[in-house]
Chains A and B, each alone.
Chain A
Amino acid sequence: MKWDEFFVTGEPMIYAADVSIVLVSLAIVIGLTYFKKWGYLWREWLTTVDHKKIGIMYILSALIMLFRGGVDALLMRAQLATPDSKFLDAQHYNEIFTTHGVIMILFMAMPFVIGMMNVVVPLQIGARDVAFPRLNAVSFWMFFMGAMLFNISFVIGGSPDAGWSAYFPLASLEFSPTVGNNYYSLALQISGIGTLMTGVNFIVTILKMRAPGMKLMRMPMFTWSVLITNVIILFAFPVLTVALALMMFDRVFGSQFFTMANGGMDMLWANLFWVWGHPEVYIVILPAFGIFSDIISTFSKKNLYGYKSMVVSMVAISVLSFLVWAHHFYTMGQGAMVNGFFSITTMAIAVPTGVKIFNWLFTLRKGKISFTSPMLYAMGFIPIFTIGGVTGVMLAMASADYQYHNTMFLVAHFHYVLIPGTVFGVLAGMHYWFPKMFGFRLNERLAKTAFWLIIVGFNVAFMPLFFLGLNGMTRRMYTYSASTGYGPLNMIATIGALILAVGFVVLCYNFFYSFRHSPRNEGGDPWDARTLEWSTPSPVPVYNFAKVPVVHSEDAFWHAKKHNVPLYEEGPYEEIHMPNNSGQPFILGVIMFFLGFFLVFSWFIPAIIAGVGVIIMLAVRSFERDHGYHIPPKEIAATEQKLRGDTV
């Protein structure tokens, strides 16, 4: 690596990014110093082990990454708006669709979903925290540092440019000589390890820490979806770990896994990547299904139709999700039998998914529906996601896929499942649980305005891509000539993306507006909801539940409200045992960041030092004796009194 290649140079946009990074960092540092908030930041956030705060940090990071990924998207749409556009060159376009894809899936959708899990699941099952709060903080900081490592590639060393799927041989050192794909392998590795630990943590939490009486078949549907999702994480992420490690060995240490000579096999990468990659899309969609289930049931004032079939269909989807990976490369020559098999398994996924759609519709039937902002997202989700699903079945037919493969039709398809599915899901969840996190609701009028802009913008942005794809416009193509006739539809798509962007701006403005204007004191249950999290005061005290609730039925809180049965046993408060905050997860994250960074540039001596640092941190943790602290009953009584104004 020559030093003049260290910083990316020569592009006005990069300089603009450099300047804005420096300015934003300066603003943050000056702001924190001026308002004397360093201590607050460290004590309350960087060292926290509280699942609610960790969840909020995940969601905040996801929103920032949504912004970054969204800017990438707008740049691409700007380039494609007109034929023969010179706005971006080919190399730049390659980098941007790669970072857009990686960031949207791994650093936006994943953390948003995991943030939702963190905030909600312990509350829904009546637990005081997740099973391993400290590990939870480690997970977060691994994700966060991985995301930061990926993002600095933009200004230091150069972004990856071989697509989010990083197919070999294109992603090999020979054809992608910059450090971009080193960033890809290491940043994803670091955050992937964090995700794997989240998987372990939440499975234990859900299986072992439910409140008394909450049998598995009484769990809220979101909790069910999270349980199944984390099982998928547990089985899928180690495959990614291996794939990325092999990629790193090929690129940094010159091994021959995916090379073209000496026995290497490029298709091995494609297989490993998608063995993880397809379950990954279900990892980000199933929790959204769970969120919609809870929301639809709450705002129809009915219990969820077909509870059991909902669970069974999710289990079926999770199993099938591991059996469909080759549908991503039907055209790469594996023969009719193999394609036939994967074609059938892929189409089979439509069955359990269809079951879920009908269950939602039947839940709505004869319900007393209130069209709140979370409900609007759910209502938008059902028809649009169905379009995504139906086009998915079209793509699943191996022979027909020879026509659609790698066209804009595919791009339209997966945005039609990812945006109404995952993005609408987490946005619905964010609006729904916002009062639980912060104690006040988002302004409904602004929220609805944002929703309509987003849903209209979305359809205008992506519907044309179906037709462009069928007309032969390929994906990842940085420009096209006027004679292709692709111009007008592309212009419409770009206009749609702009409307979508305005919608996101309104959505974010709503945070500031609601912070200033929303009424407080709406109590713990502003939506008249059904599940246990709403039985706590908002915002939720550190210990979540002053007394552990006792569950008698599905929708426990609703049951308690309607039948006037108490959720808690009589008797005085008992001491609550809580974990201490710790700076170790953050420090470990920082060291991992540097370890990754040094490996990206093959600086082995510093990398070894950082590696030793990691081992030291593990040892420190092992030798530490930290038994947490206890909250005395008196203090609990005082807190509860203040939050709910009740006495027990």
Chain B
Amino acid sequence: MKINDTLPLEYRTEENSNKIFGFWLFLGAEIVLFSTLFAVYFTLWNRTGNGPTGKELFEVGGVIWETFLLLTSSFTCGLGIHAMRLGLKKPMMIFFVVTLLMGLGFLGIEITEFVNYVHEGATLQTSAFLSSLFVLLGTHGLHVTMGILWGAGILIQVGRQGFTDETANKSFIFSLYWHFLDVVWIFIFSFVYLKGLM
């Protein structure tokens, strides 16, 4: 196995640097996936049928909190990777725990919001606009959920094994994923909520 000591731990073996490259490609596919969902949303967003429009539905409060939590969690995730590069296990783990907790907070708000929508009679079945809204947000939310489970698994492994080629590689790839979800959210925030409220 070829090992290149001049690189950060997560890139050192050939296999691991291939994994990182492969994950970038996967994120490319994810970009296409979310772009398609956005395209669907933009096509359908004013086709509200008998249901409410975005303007009637959206509430700023929760969304601001969601945005705050997710953006901050992306920042702490980056700090976690920084700590990992410095070989600091405990700080890294703390940053990751904070990241995941904020992810949970985000999910909590999102779920409450969905429940509220449904109570107001705005469901997946109501109109094309709401279908596309729920599926776009839901896909992002599902990604966050998977991210939390995945991140928790990696945390346990770092806790048990410390930083190895493998755990460092996994943590780094997880961080790419988490930042990506943040970027997607920024688009959702701008083009779904802000645009909808205007």
Contact = CB atoms under 8 A, between A and B. Distances in A.
Interface of A: 131-132, 196, 199-201, 203-204, 207-209, 234-235, 237-239, 241-243, 245-246, 249-250, 253-257, 259, 261-265, 268, 272, 275, 577, 615, 618-619, 622-623, 625
A256 B25 contact: no
Contact of A255 (B1, B33, B125, B170): B125
Contact of B153 (A235, A242, A622): A622
Given A200-B26, A257-B131, A619-B153, A272 B36 contact: yes
A234 B29 contact: yes
Interface in B37-86: 37, 40, 43-44, 47-51
Interface residues of B, number: 43
A199 B32 CA distance: 14
Contacts of A254: 124-125
A622 B32 CA distance: 26
Contact of B18 (A208, A256, A261, A263): A208
A73 B44 CA distance: 39
Contacts of A234: 25, 28-29, 32
Contacts of A261: 49
B29 A622 contact: no
A264 B51 CA distance: 12
Contact of A208 (B21, B33, B36, B44): B21
B44 A249 contact: no
Contact of A257 (B44, B149, B170): B44
A169 to B, nearest CB: 13
A330 to B, nearest CB: 20
Contacts of A255: 124-125, 131, 134-135
A511 to B, nearest CB: 36
Given A246-B135, A249-B131, A262-B126, A239 B50 contact: no
Given A262-B51, A264-B44, 9 more contacts: A196-B29, A208-B18, A235-B29, A237-B29, A238-B29, A239-B36, A246-B131, A249-B124, A257-B128
A615 B149 contact: yes
Contacts of A623: 153, 156-157
A265 B28 contact: no
Given A208-B18, A262-B51, A272-B36, A256 B150 contact: no
Nearest to B138: A249
Contacts of A204: 18, 21-22, 25
A257 B128 CA distance: 5
B135 A245 contact: yes
B122 to A, nearest CB: 12
27 contacts: A131-B18, A131-B22, A201-B22, A203-B25, A204-B18, A207-B21, A209-B18, A237-B29, A239-B33, A242-B36, A246-B40, A250-B131, A255-B124, A255-B131, A255-B134, A256-B125, A256-B127, A256-B130, A257-B132, A261-B49, A262-B127, A263-B47, A263-B128, A263-B129, A264-B47, A275-B36, A622-B157
B104 interface: no
Contact of B44 (A203, A268, A619): A268
A256 B49 contact: yes
A325 to B, nearest CB: 13
Interface string B84-100: 00000000000000000
Nearest to A132: B22
A235 B154 contact: no
A577 B1 CA distance: 7
B64 to A, nearest CB: 28
Contacts of B113: none
Contact of B43 (A199, A268, A618): A268
B21 A263 contact: no
Contacts of A268: 40, 43-44
A287 B1 CA distance: 32
**Of A209, A235, A242, A254, which is in contact with the most chain B CB atoms at under 10 Å from its CB?**
A242
Contact of A253 (B26, B29, B124): B124
Nearest first, the 10 closest Cβ-Cβ pairs linking A and B are A263-B47, A263-B128, A262-B49, A255-B131, A238-B33, A238-B32, A263-B49, A242-B36, A254-B125, A204-B22
Nearest to A254: B125
B110 interface: no
Contacts of B26: 200
Nearest to B28: A234
A257 B40 CA distance: 9
A254 B128 CA distance: 11
A242 B40 contact: yes
A132 B127 CA distance: 43
Contacts of B28: 234-235
A239 B32 contact: yes
A172 to B, nearest CB: 13
A246 B17 CA distance: 35
Nearest to A233: B29
A263 B131 CA distance: 10
B32 A235 contact: yes
A166 to B, nearest CB: 17
**Of B33, B156, B166, which is in contact with the most chain A CB atoms at under 10 Å from its CB?**
B33
B151 to A, nearest CB: 11
Contacts of B30: 238
B21 A622 contact: no
Contacts of A201: 22
A235 B43 CA distance: 20
A239 B153 CA distance: 30
A263 B37 contact: no
A570 B127 CA distance: 70
